[in-house]
Amino acid sequence: MKRVLLVLPLVLIGLLWAFGPAEKPASAGDEESTCVVCHEKHNPGVVAQWRASKHATSKKKTKPTCKTCHGTEHVGDDDVAKTKMPTAKTCKKCHIKQFKQFGRGKHALAELSVTAIPMFSKQPKSVQKMGCGSCHNVGKRWEDGSVGRCDACHTRHAFSAAEARRPEACETCHMGEDHSQYEMWRSSKHGVIHHLDPKSGRAPVCQDCHMQKGDHAVMTGWGFLGLRLPVPDETWQADIMTIVKAIGPWGRDEKGMEARVGAIKALKLARLDEETFQKARTKMIAACAKCHSSRFGKEHLELADEIIKETTHLMARAVRVVEKLYTDGILPLTEDGPKHPDLLLFYESPTEIEQELYKMFLFHRQKAFQGAIHANPDYMHWYGWAPMKSSFQKINKLDKELRAKKAEEKK
């Protein structure tokens, strides 16, 4: 009898559990469940990801549901075209801090910078969309005036902070010929230790150096092209000016130069004052200091600066060779074209020698200096500096050939 009395409550609890009211899906109110129920059939992956996300599981009252981000106009099978897609403004409503930080950083300029490059407009629309837009839409400018695609790192519908903290979150965009930061980092000591021992935090990932304390305003001292002004050395300064002259479609006169510097400023393509550079540098050395002495961090970055200087010098020498072909009237002057090599024509460069120059600039020099920065000796040397030297030799050979051909024609 005693045993029955003991077992009975357990049986009752069991019955209640089996036949009691079903548990509602996380955070789905009655209205919301119409979206959820139907979409569970159509796109079960979307609903499952949302259910597992903080957006559904958070205890905060302000968490978003399907309707918060997609509106209420589409309610069934026949009105799918009425669906709204969220913009950065939608996220801003609840995440103003990250939204504002993002707006101050370089990612917010990503869409603008693409359209400023003349070779962009020469590509088919489909190539523009996938071949530039898929990465540069991190800085998407929405019709409502807001800027940014937050799902570039917080992919839908998980919208996870943990995922965005992983270096792989940057990989799809920060890879390849002209910005192989992922590959460089991955095979540097930092990347190797991270992969051997990912949970220990012994080695830094991208975010530890570039998004310290979760700051969404990414921007570095040297920037994409490793060009800045002023620098402490006259030869270096002259080399930078030679390269600056060769980036951009804006003529060679004083007015053209002004327009070029204006555009570089607006897009923050380079830092144009010492203070902005030093601020970024100080912040970076502080990041190293977590695991290295400040002497060690500083010395490594100064070594990378020296390498930037050397790659800039070699590059400027190559640009001058091609520039002289224009001033000597050996390369043809077109009416609307620039009267100097234009490095930003990329693969649209009109002659073989200019094709070589663009590869030297955008592939080899980038790998040399970015590899140095990211503590990767092989990228710095064999993928970067060594092919730069080969390109320089080829440019000089082509220069001789073009001059010989011209002399022949004159005879």
Which 292-331 residues touch ligand HEC, going by CB under 6 A?
292, 297, 300-301
Taking CB under 6 A as the criterion, the residue among 8, 11, 16, 161 binding ligand HEC is 161
Give whichever of 67 and 406 is closer to ligand HEC, judged by the CB atom.
67
Segment 219-248, which members bind ligand HEC (CB under 6 A)? 219-224
Q: Under rule CB under 6 A, how many of the chain's residues touch ligand HEC?
A: 119
Residue 89 as a binder of ligand HEC (CB under 6 A): the answer is: no
Asked whether the beta carbons of 279 and 218 are under 8 A apart, the reply is no
- Return the range that interacts with ligand HEC (CB under 6 A); candidates 134-142, 311-319, 353-361, 387-395: 134-142
Segment 190-209, which members bind ligand HEC (CB under 6 A)? 190, 193, 201-209
Give whichever of 148 and 249 is closer to ligand HEC, judged by the CB atom.
148
The answer to whether the peptide bond before residue 230 is cis (omega within 30 degrees of 0) is: yes
Residue 33 as a binder of ligand HEC (CB under 6 A): the answer is: no
Amino acid at 336: D
Residue 69 as a binder of ligand HEC (CB under 6 A): the answer is: yes
| E strand spans, 153-258 | none
Asked whether the beta carbons of 320 and 313 are under 8 A apart, the reply is no
Q: At 154, list the tokens.
A: 């917080």
Asked whether the beta carbons of 50 and 43 are under 8 A apart, the reply is no
As a whole number of angstroms, the distance between CA 319 and CA 315 comes to 6
- Return the range that interacts with ligand HEC (CB under 6 A); candidates 8-16, 19-27, 66-74, 386-394: 66-74
As a whole number of angstroms, the distance between CA 75 and CA 325 comes to 65
Taking CB under 6 A as the criterion, the residue among 164, 319, 345, 362 binding ligand HEC is 164
**Residue 33, Cα to own-chain centre: how many angstroms?**
37
For residue 370, count CB atoms less than 10 angstroms from its CB and return exposed for 0-12, middle for 13-18, buried for 19 or more: buried
Taking CB under 6 A as the criterion, the residue among 50, 236, 385, 392 binding ligand HEC is 50
**Residue 302, Cα to own-chain centre: how many angstroms?**
24
- Return the range that interacts with ligand HEC (CB under 6 A); candidates 38-46, 230-238, 242-250, 394-402: 38-46
Segment 367-386, which members bind ligand HEC (CB under 6 A)? 370, 373-375
Task: State how far the alpha carbon of 390 is from the alpha carbons of 59, 180, 353, 376, 399, in Å.
Answer: 61, 20, 13, 21, 14
User: CB 14 → ligand HEC: shortest distance, Å?
Assistant: 32
Taking CB under 6 A as the criterion, the residue among 21, 85, 232, 334 binding ligand HEC is 85
User: CB 394 → ligand HEC: shortest distance, Å?
Assistant: 24
Taking CB under 6 A as the criterion, the residue among 88, 319, 345, 368 binding ligand HEC is 88
Task: State how far the alpha carbon of 391 is from the alpha carbons of 23, 314, 355, 359, 398, in Å.
Answer: 67, 10, 10, 8, 10
Taking CB under 6 A as the criterion, the residue among 216, 245, 260, 364 binding ligand HEC is 216
Q: What is the DSSP letter of 147?
A: B
- Return the range that interacts with ligand HEC (CB under 6 A); candidates 8-16, 17-25, 90-98, 355-363: 90-98
Taking CB under 6 A as the criterion, the residue among 33, 52, 179, 350 binding ligand HEC is 179
Asked whether the beta carbons of 157 and 150 are under 8 A apart, the reply is no
Give whichever of 103 and 325 is closer to ligand HEC, judged by the CB atom.
103
User: Rounded to 10 degrees, what is the CA torsion of 356, 362, 363, 365?
Assistant: 100
